[in-house]
């Protein structure tokens, strides 16, 4: 059965039920939803995912539930990276008329399940027909009285920390491209990291409470995203310990298996959704208790360097409009 | 010059400048934007527009600025229909790599200009490549202490009013389909209504302040959308005066020109973005002062009828997933 056979109203009713949505005006079913914003400000972000570019809905690659999960997670991570708590998602879906109802169910389930650990729910959306499957997700969040943590506040003398793994999502993509669609052990964890990223949401507000001066979630590569903090803050980030020793054996094994470079995954892998933050060194012990790794320092200057001698990283970022320019995150497949 | 040649960062910088965006954290440039929500609640809605379905970006049809305008206006209308004031837009853009930079500029200009009368600004977004041009717009709004006006509060005895014209957008589409791309007089106004709808935003909060019991903006046809209020409220809407005499001569002339049925445009034309509201009869005079027309009454029962004898309207609504089922709003072209 396809979504066209079900019809727009039938599909919306079915999906809304699976989302366990609240009744209007808090949830879908009216012109707009009404979402609590107790702080008096609302944090808002939009990310768009296109089939064949940001995911591949196909047997062995990603299930519809994986796709829904991923679309939610990467937006929720943006909310956390501001130091806020996610409150709501709105989902714009462009669907080919031939999408199966099973896949529509899966998208809804994935969106719902990715929200489950955060307290956010899907409060609204729109469904239209188009040639290519597209999910356009907007996430809203509440700062709970905190100052938002932007990319612009890093100061010389700050420590640089990362909460979450680097390279696993890129390793998972490499496995899929090599035809490895199921695996045990570390390789299996990489496949999960790629299909269902699990950003450390609570660490965002927690790092803000510890005095984080700048923060973002790593979606286009650690070095590339670090450059964004360096540029916005007018400082240099010296990242000397991006590789997590606890991950290295596993990443190296997957790299050998797939003929890849594990180091490049760590430096340049997109869609990792780890949080990269700068904060006063006095907060390092408390940050470590949240799972943060100390990966470098903020110094006067500009850009991102890999060593005390100032040698730059060679990796570049991913350009969504001209992918052939870059050396990272190839389009799927 | 195409957007692919400009690149993702180049395009974002260019578009952000045209939007006259605020610096982060209030506007684009960080993981998320921070938008004031003084009411302590935020009203949020998402609509997705697909090239060839909701608009046609082509010479003589719609310019890129028209498309940007329309995408903003239909979301802002949803905010007004809740009784709220628009505060912000987020825009997800899926663009074919070959889109010209001129057209990207036009999209930004249209989004900006449609917001200008409302006080909202574009605060965030995302740009990705895809096969088909898609705009996924999220609008946010503030209730300023008002109770949200849902579709569920209409009561027998209420009057039904409409603010804004009916049928003009449908007439404009009929003109375009007949090859009439420019016109003077009333036909020209219909082309503008279709390309650049101008919903009566201030009437939304104003009708809420007058005690409106239910409200929505007419996006899928007056009768079809009235059925939504009837269904959500558990009442019948008797709509005896949907035709605005002041528009009838003009609509009839365009109908003759295009071989169409003006009556069907009024009853079933989508994308009109007039506001349909129910309110106590005691508020009718004040509503008329806002430009409202009194078009019918709420009575006990169900559905929407066209006369005192209870005869139903025959028109149906538009199904975005199975357009061939319906008799309204044909897909473009």
Question: What local confidence, expressed as pLDDT, does residue A332 receive?
Answer: 45
Q: What whole-number distance in Å separates Cα of residue A32 and Cα of residue B202?
A: 17
- First CA to last CA distance, chain A: 27
- CB contact under 8 Å between A123 and B322, yes or no, is no
The residue in chain B having the minimum alpha-carbon distance to the alpha carbon of residue A90 is B46
Among candidates B189, B13, B215, which has minimal Cα distance to B108?
B13
Q: What whole-number distance in Å separates Cα of residue A105 and Cα of residue B224?
A: 27
Residues counted in chain B: 333
From chain A, the residues in CB contact with B128 under 8 A are 48-50, 53-54, 320-321
- CB contact under 8 Å between A97 and B41, yes or no, is no
Alpha carbon of B41: minimum distance to chain A alpha carbons (Å): 4
Map residue B67 onto helix, strand or coil. Answer: helix
Q: What are phi and psi of B136, to 5 degrees?
A: -110, 110
Average pLDDT over residues A295-302: 97
Determine which of B46, B99, B332 to mutate to test the interface with A (most A C-beta atoms within 10 Å): B46
Helices (H) and strands (E) in chain A, counts: 11, 11
From chain B, the residues in CB contact with A22 under 8 A are none
From chain B, the residues in CB contact with A320 under 8 A are 8, 127-129
Provide the number of CB pairs (under 8 Å) joining chain A to chain B. Answer: 268
Determine which of A16, A30, A220 to mutate to test the interface with B (most B C-beta atoms within 10 Å): A30
% of chain B surpassing 90 pLDDT: 87
Q: Which of B47, B132, B321 sits opposite A97 (nearest CB)?
A: B321
- B200-251 tens-digit pLDDT: 999 999 999 999 999 999 999 999 999 999 999 999 999 999 999 999 999 9
What one-character DSSP code corresponds to residue A82?
Answer: T
DSSP letters, A207-222, are: HHHTT-SEEEE-SS-H
From chain A, the residues in CB contact with B204 under 8 A are none
Residues counted in chain A: 333
Question: What local confidence, expressed as pLDDT, does residue B315 receive?
Answer: 78
Above 50 in pLDDT, residue A218?
Answer: yes
Q: What whole-number distance in Å separates Cα of residue A294 and Cα of residue B149?
A: 51
Above 80 in pLDDT, residue B96?
Answer: yes
- A220-235 tens-digit pLDDT: 999 999 999 999 999 9
pLDDT-derived band at B332, boundaries 50, 70, 90: very low
Question: What local confidence, expressed as pLDDT, does residue B4 receive?
Answer: 92
- CB contact under 8 Å between A8 and B320, yes or no, is yes
Above 60 in pLDDT, residue B331?
Answer: no
The residue in chain B having the minimum alpha-carbon distance to the alpha carbon of residue A126 is B47
Which ipTM was obtained for this model? 0.94
From chain A, the residues in CB contact with B220 under 8 A are none
- Exposure string (b/e) for B236-263, b if CB count within 10 Å is 16 or more? bbbbeebbbeebeebbebbbeebebebb
Q: Rounded to the nearest 5 degrees, what angle is found at the Cα of A219, between the Cα atoms of A218 and A225?
A: 55
- CB contact under 8 Å between B44 and A33, yes or no, is yes
Among candidates B119, B60, B128, which has minimal Cα distance to B99?
B128
Above 70 in pLDDT, residue A328?
Answer: no
- CB contact under 8 Å between B88 and A151, yes or no, is no
Above 50 in pLDDT, residue B326?
Answer: no
Q: Which of B40, B132, B136 sits opposite A37 (nearest CB)?
A: B40
CA distances, A149 to each of A89, A199, A299, B24, B41 (Å):
21, 17, 19, 10, 22
Q: Which of A31, A49, A138 sits opposite B216 (nearest CB)?
A: A31
Average pLDDT across chain B, whole number? 93
Q: What whole-number distance in Å separates Cα of residue A61 and Cα of residue A176?
A: 6
Q: Which of A7, A134, A150 sits opposite B94 (nearest CB)?
A: A134
Q: Are B79 and A32 in contact (CB under 8 A)?
A: yes
Pairing of strands A121-129, A85-95: parallel
Average pLDDT over residues A89-101: 96
Q: What whole-number distance in Å separates Cα of residue A197 and Cα of residue A193?
A: 5
From chain A, the residues in CB contact with B36 under 8 A are 40-41
Q: What whole-number distance in Å separates Cα of residue B152 and Cα of residue A212?
A: 45
% of chain A surpassing 90 pLDDT: 87
From chain B, the residues in CB contact with A78 under 8 A are 31-32
Question: What local confidence, expressed as pLDDT, does residue B310 receive?
Answer: 85
Alpha carbon of B104: minimum distance to chain A alpha carbons (Å): 13
Kindly state the tokens that stand for A244.
């997590």
| Close Cβ partners of B230 (under 8 Å, ≥ 6 residues apart) | B154, B236, B237, B302, B303, B304
Among candidates A125, A135, A131, A96, which has minimal Cα distance to A4?
A96
The residue in chain B having the minimum alpha-carbon distance to the alpha carbon of residue A125 is B46
Average pLDDT over residues B46-71: 95
Q: What is the pTM of this model?
A: 0.94
pLDDT-derived band at A318, boundaries 50, 70, 90: low
- CB contact under 8 Å between B128 and A54, yes or no, is yes
Q: What whole-number distance in Å separates Cα of residue B223 and Cα of residue B225?
A: 5
What is the sign of the dihedral through the CA atoms of A57, A62, A66 and A71? negative
Alpha carbon of B81: minimum distance to chain A alpha carbons (Å): 7
| Close Cβ partners of A69 (under 8 Å, ≥ 6 residues apart) | A110, A111, A113, A114, A195, A196, A197
**How many other CB atoms sit within 10 Å of the CB of residue B281?**
12
Above 80 in pLDDT, residue B318?
Answer: no
- A20-50 tens-digit pLDDT: 888 899 889 999 999 999 999 999 999 999 9
CA distances, A252 to each of A171, A175, A179, A258 (Å):
10, 13, 18, 10
Above 50 in pLDDT, residue A175?
Answer: yes
Above 50 in pLDDT, residue A153?
Answer: yes
Average pLDDT over residues B305-327: 70
Average pLDDT over residues B159-164: 98
- CB contact under 8 Å between A44 and B90, yes or no, is yes
Question: What local confidence, expressed as pLDDT, does residue A124 receive?
Answer: 95
- CB contact under 8 Å between A24 and B151, yes or no, is yes
Average pLDDT over residues B95-101: 95
CA distances, A234 to each of A156, A227, A228, A304 (Å):
10, 10, 10, 11
Average pLDDT over residues A284-304: 97
């Amino acid at each position: 059965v396809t979504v066209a056979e079900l019809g727009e109203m039938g599909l919306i009713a079915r999906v809304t039920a699976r989302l366990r949505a609240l009744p209007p005006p808090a949830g879908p079913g009216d012109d707009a939803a009404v979402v609590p914003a107790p702080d008096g400000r609302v944090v808002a972000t939009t990310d768009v995912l296109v089939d064949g570019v940001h995911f591949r809905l196909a047997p062995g690659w990603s299930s519809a539930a994986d796709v829904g999960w991923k679309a939610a997670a990467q937006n929720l991570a943006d909310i956390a990276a501001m130091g806020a708590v996610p409150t709501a998602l709105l989902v714009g879906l462009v669907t080919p008329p031939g999408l199966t109802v099973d896949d529509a169910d899966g998208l809804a389930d994935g969106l719902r399940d990715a929200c489950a650990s955060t307290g956010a729910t899907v409060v609204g959306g729109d469904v239209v027909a188009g040639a290519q499957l597209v999910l356009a997700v907007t996430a809203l969040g509440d700062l709970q009285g905190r100052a938002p943590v932007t990319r612009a506040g890093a100061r010389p003398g700050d420590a640089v920390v990362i909460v979450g793994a680097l390279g696993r999502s890129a390793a998972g993509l490499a496995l899929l491209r090599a035809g490895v669609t199921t695996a045990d052990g570390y390789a299996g964890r990489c496949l999960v990291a790629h299909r269902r990223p699990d950003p450390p949401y609570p660490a965002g507000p927690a790092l803000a409470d510890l005095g984080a001066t700048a923060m973002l979630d790593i979606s286009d590569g650690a070095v590339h995203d670090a450059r964004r903090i360096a540029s916005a803050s007018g400082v240099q980030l010296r990242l000397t310990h991006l590789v997590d020793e606890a991950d290295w054996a596993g990443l190296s094994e997957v790299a050998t298996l797939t003929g890849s470079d594990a180091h490049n995954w760590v430096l340049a892998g997109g869609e990792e959704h780890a949080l990269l933050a700068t904060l006063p060194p006095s907060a390092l012990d408390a940050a470590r208790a949240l799972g943060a790794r100390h990966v470098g320092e903020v110094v006067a200057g500009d850009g991102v360097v890999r060593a005390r001698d100032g040698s730059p990283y060679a990796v570049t970022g991913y350009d969504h409009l001209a992918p052939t320019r870059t050396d990272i995150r190839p389009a799927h497949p």
